[in-house]
Structures are given as structure tokens and as C-alpha cells.
Structure 1
């Protein structure tokens, strides 16, 4: 039988997957509309589709997947989410660009079917790579991991005391960033 922490992680991964699938459908749909019908360059179209799906992903992830951390200001959550998305966009666009690398410069007009196929294959690869990147970064910096650490105390055979876990949490980069953000939140933003 899986312990409670592993079950919670699996449940969170599944929720992340559902949000990700919906965001991916939006991303692929918009990308293909722009490339197929508007004959737009795949990197430009991918940037637009990625940005629109990112907005949905942020709202859904913060509502259904990750719990707000009481030790982090909302503005810092948005900054971390945005920075991870910008890096994700760069990864995404690099993979999309490489998917049609070597094709004629006007391939999106002259070899349209091949261009669309290569773009979609690249998008599939990019979607998986960026999904892994996003989950790891968001799990580390945005999720309420303090509660998970404290639940270790309830596990049988635990070798950590509550004080040791609390000290470990307070030394963590995630907590220090969160506390810094609260201390530097302008009045009226809370």
C-alpha cells in the first residue's frame, strides 16, 4: 500500500496532467490555426499559442494543482510562474525551431504539409520537455512543501524531530524566497 505522501504526489501529478492536457489542446489548436490557416512562421505562432495557454495554465494550476503557500506573497508566485514560463517558452521555441531546421526558408508556404507535420512533431516533444520542467520548478518553488515535510513526523520510524524539520524548512531556498517576498511586499498588496 502506498503511503499518504506518495498518494498525494500521484494525485497532484494527475491534476497537473489534466490541467496540462487542456493547456496543450489550447496550445496545439492555436498553433495549428495560425500555421495552417494564417501561414504564420511556426516559432511566432508557437510563441502566441504558448502565451495564451500559459495564462490558462497559471490560473488552473494555482487553483487546482498547487496550494498557495502562506509564507510567500502572491506577487512572488506570479514572478516565479512567469520566469519558469519564459524559460519554458525558450525551450519550446528552440525545439519548434529545430523541428523545421534545414527546411527552405519559405517552407511554411511551399512545403506546407511537411512544415506543419514537422512543427507538430516538434511541438509534441516540446510539450513533454516543458511539462517536466514546469512541474519540477513549480513543485519546488510554488507548492506548500512545508506541510508535506511536517507530515513526515506522522510516519512510523521517523528519525527527524519536529524541530529538525522546522529548521530544515527555514533553511530551504524556497522558504527564504517566500519570506523575502512577504517582507518586501508593498503595503496594500497583501
Structure 2
């Protein structure tokens, strides 16, 4: 739920800036999309790390930031590719002006890009950043038909996410927290 609320706010920031740049300043949609995506990304990072994902004790902050940035750069590439495709090869339409058609197709592309990037962000962040072990342990306390605590601990210890977190702690530069 929190991921969705943060995402909706970030979308409106992204969408509003995109349209202001494309419609108001007649900027190329990919450049405008890159700028709007980057601004909404700053909000998304701050809000996600404060309200959505809990810091994992088994992962260094620098690794959390690195994962977020790398995942976001990939998301930006997906966003820009879809925006570019949305207006590629535009033909003049007798019923709609070129400018209006460009904005309309940019907005349609933005909706598609938002959906695709939202799924990408959720999956990668849930896999690598969320404290799924603690969440699973809390659920386990109330359920007897699930994995035992030992089975859950064993599964967590062998997970890529946990091993990456431990590696990041072991390789944190001196003086960093």
C-alpha cells in the first residue's frame, strides 16, 4: 500500500513536469522524460526509504543506495525507450495538429512506461532491498502451517539478497556507516 501511495505521488510529479516541459517549453519528449523522471526519482528515493522499505541491518547503506541508483538507471532507460517509441515515425494527421498529437502520444507512452517501470522497481527493490526475512518471521509467529523458523532462517542465509548485504557490510570503507 505504501509503495503504491509513494508511486502515485511520484507519478504525478513525473507526469506534471513532463507535460510542462513538452507542452509548455516544446522540449523533446525523451529529454523532458529524463528530467521529469530524475526529479520524481529523488522524491521516490527519499519517500521509499522513509516510509516503504525498512533498512536492513545486514546491508550497508551505500549498497542500498547503489541498488536503488542502478535499478533507477535501468528504469530510466526503459522509460526513455518507451517514450521514444511512442512518437517514433509520427505522421501528420489531418484531424489533430502535430503538436497535440506529439503530446498525446507522449502521454500514452508515459502511461505504458510508468506501468512497466513500476513493476520493475517493485520486483527489484522487494528482492534486494526489503527486509523480507523479518517480515516473514513476523508472519510465522502467527501461523503453524508455514515453514519453521529454522527452515526460514536457512532459506534466508542462502539467499542472494542476504549474501549481498553481508558482503556490503564486510566491504564498507572505514568511517562509513
Common fold by TM > 0.5: yes
The reply to whether residue 71 of structure 1 matches residue 58 of structure 2 is yes
**Structure 1 residue corresponding to 2:117, chosen from 130, 134, 154:** 130
Distance 2:141 2:172 in 1: 34
Deviations 1:50-104 (A, max 9, x none): 0110010000000001111110011100000011101111111111111101116
**Structure 2 residue corresponding to 1:39, chosen from 4, 23, 26:** 26
Displacement of 1:157: 3.2
TM-score (norm 1): 0.86
Distance 1:89 1:151 in 2: 35
Unaligned runs of 5+ in 1: 1-13, 105-109
Displacement of 1:137: 0.9
Q: After superposition, where does 1:93-104 map in structure 2 within 5 Å?
A: 93-103=80-90
Deviations 1:95-151 (A, max 9, x none): 1111101116xxxxx711110010001001111111111111111111111112323
**Structure 1 residue corresponding to 2:104, chosen from 114, 117, 121:** 117
| Cα distance change on mapping 1:113 and 1:187 into 2, 3 Å | same
Match of 1:92 in 2: 79
Distance 2:146 2:65 in 1: 36
Contact residue 42 and residue 119 of structure 1 kept, 8 A? yes
Deviations 1:21-77 (A, max 9, x none): 111111011111111121111001100110110010000000001111110011100
Distance 2:41 2:25 in 1: 21
| Cα distance change on mapping 1:160 and 1:18 into 2, 3 Å | closer
User: Greater CA deviation, 144-153 or 16-25?
Assistant: 144-153
Match of 2:94 in 1: none
The reply to whether residue 58 of structure 1 matches residue 17 of structure 2 is no
Unaligned runs of 5+ in 2: 92-96
> Paired residues, what number?
173
Tell me the secondary structure at the aligned position of residue 44 of structure 2: helix
Distance 2:100 2:3 in 1: 32
Displacement of 1:152: 4.4
| Cα distance change on mapping 1:34 and 1:165 into 2, 3 Å | same
